[in-house]
Amino acid sequence: MMSHLKLSLVAATALAGSFGFAASANAQAFYLQEQSARAAGRAFSGEVADTGAASLWWNPASIAGTTQGEAVVNASLIVPRGEVADTGTLIRRPGQAFAPVGGDAVTRNPIDKGVLPSGAVSIPLGDRVAIGVAVTSPYSFTTDYPETSWARYSALKTRLRTIDIQPSVAVAVTDWLRVGAGLNVEYTDASLANALPNLSPALADGRQELKGDGWDFGWTAGFQMHSDDVTVGVSYKSAIEHTLTGDLEISGLAGPLAAQNASLSGVEARFYTPAQVIVGARFRLSDRFTLNGQGVHYGWKKFDAIRLGAPINAAIPENYRDSWSIAGGFDYAASSKLVVRAGVQRTQTPTRDTERDARVPDSDRWNYGVGASYALTSGFTLDAGANYVTFSDAPIDRVTAAYPGTAAQTPILTSGELRDASALVFSLGGRLRF
Segment-wise mean pLDDT, segments of 10 residues, the chain, 434 residues: 43 36 52 94 97 98 96 96 95 96 94 91 96 94 90 88 96 97 96 92 93 96 97 98 93 93 90 95 97 97 85 80 97 98 97 85 94 97 98 92 88 94 97 97
CA dihedral defined by 223, 227, 232, 237, rounded to 10 degrees? 20
pLDDT value, residue 27:
55
pLDDT value, residue 138:
93
Q: Cα dist. 291→47, 280, 281 in Å?
A: 12, 11, 8
- Name the pTM for this structure: 0.91
Catalogue all structural domains in the chain, each as residue range(s) with its CATH number: 2-433 (2.40.160.60)
